[in-house]
Amino acid sequence: MADGEPVPGSLFIYAPNKVAPAVFSALFAISGVGHIWQCYHYKCFKLVGLHSLCAIVFAAGYALREYATFDLNYIYSTKNLLIFIISQVFIFICPPLLELANYHVLGRVFYYVPYNAPLPPGRVLSIFGGLLAIVELLNSLGVAFTANISSTPSKQEMGKSLTLAALAIQLVVIVIFVVLASIFHWRCAKAKLRSKAVSTSLTALYISMALIFVRCIYRLVEHLGNTTVRLKDLESLKQLSPILRYEWYFYVFEAVLMLVNSVLWNVWNPGRYLPGNHQVYLSRDGIEVQGEEGADRRPLLAKAGHVLTFGIFFGRKKESSPFEELHDYPGAK
């Protein structure tokens, strides 16, 4: 790892480690292949497909970082800068998507025990997916601006502000997530509902959100310090936040945490526990019941859009009020 001594002209500030990116790229690729196989095996692409996507994007991001470690490819040039920016964007856009994936799983758990859900299951992804879409936009722009260290200090400062805003919203969304999951968990415990599908999924969700929360705190602390990079000014580089100057912070609080999160869902893939059809729910007496599903009259493009936006947009129009959704489960009464 780098010893914190800045290297003038380095896009990373330091001379990056040559082994770590290859290791993490390979591990994320293995995890990604595992996710893809599990999605196929358990027929749960719609439920946890984002984990497959993020693992592959992570692998690509670290592969590009590995490329940058050789032959001084980390020294500023137009080509190297482009590769550096793409690598940074690939690595940093995934955590908000993983947070969205967690909300997707939470929504499916709510569908499974709808009478204990603190809000209609169908609204979980649409509400918080919209918030996380804003986070992703702010995060992507922020990373692009801050990674482009050839830009003016004002643009880097703008990127820092956008990233801080994205992280702040992420933290708020995580807190809301924990509150909703805790209310649901408490209601299930109060009702003495014992279900491996519920308990295992919630445990995995709590751990995953804790990992993402710690990662967000790390990124927040990083951007609260001095982050304005002047490539050729050695004294200025020495004044940067230690989190930027020491590479091990990145690998411990970014790479390792997100790899653990990916492996976590390999081990506790919700497709193993939750029914593939969200119309299947658990009645109060602990018996799985198949609900009725109306005909889907949406055009093919709308259906495709619904899948591609992970259920956020192009949903079915409900004849009843969305908040009457919890009363649509006869076995839950």
pLDDT, one tens digit for every residue, the chain (333 residues):
446 788 888 899 999 999 999 999 999 999 999 999 999 999 999 899 999 999 999 999 999 999 999 888 999 899 999 999 999 999 999 999 999 999 999 999 999 999 999 999 888 888 888 888 899 899 888 888 888 877 777 888 888 899 999 999 999 999 999 999 999 999 999 999 889 999 999 999 999 999 999 999 999 998 887 767 777 777 778 888 889 889 999 999 999 999 999 999 999 999 999 998 888 888 888 788 887 665 566 777 776 666 556 555 666 665 443 434 444 544 444
- Would residue 170 count as lying in a domain? yes
In this prediction the pTM is 0.86
Q: Kindly list the distances between the CA atom of residue 278 and the CA atoms of 60, 71, 292, 315, 333, in Å, as whole numbers in the listed order.
A: 33, 52, 11, 14, 18
| Domain contains 120 | yes
User: What sign results for the dihedral spanned by CA atoms 138, 84, 93, 301?
Assistant: positive
Q: Which domain holds residue 135?
A: 20-281+299-314
Closest CA to 63 of 10, 18, 22: 22
Question: Residue 281 pairs with which residues in a beta bridge?
Answer: 289
The residue whose two tokens read 């809000």 is: 119
Report the pLDDT value the prediction gives residue 316, as an integer from 0 to 100: 65
Whether 148 and 85 have beta carbons less than 8 Å apart is answered as yes
What do you get for the CA distance between the two ends of the chain, in Å? 59
What is the count of structural domains for the chain?
1
What single-letter DSSP state applies at residue 317?
P
179 token code pair: 């509150």
pLDDT at 295: 59
**Residue 323, domain member (yes or no):** no
Give the residue carrying structure tokens 């922020």: 142
Residue 133 lies in a domain: yes
H or E stretch including 91?
A: helix 78-92
Which letter does DSSP use for residue 290 in this model?
E
Closest CA to 113 of 266, 273, 265: 273
Q: What CATH number is attached to the domain comprising 24?
A: 1.20.1070
> Do 311 and 49 form a contact (C-beta atoms < 8 A)?
no
Query: How many of the other CB atoms lie within 10 Å of CB of 90?
Result: 21
In a domain, 322, yes or no: no
Q: Flag whether 5 is in a domain.
A: no
- Is residue 110 classed as helix, strand or coil in its secondary structure? helix
pLDDT at 326 (0 to 100): 46
Q: Is residue 112 part of a domain?
A: yes
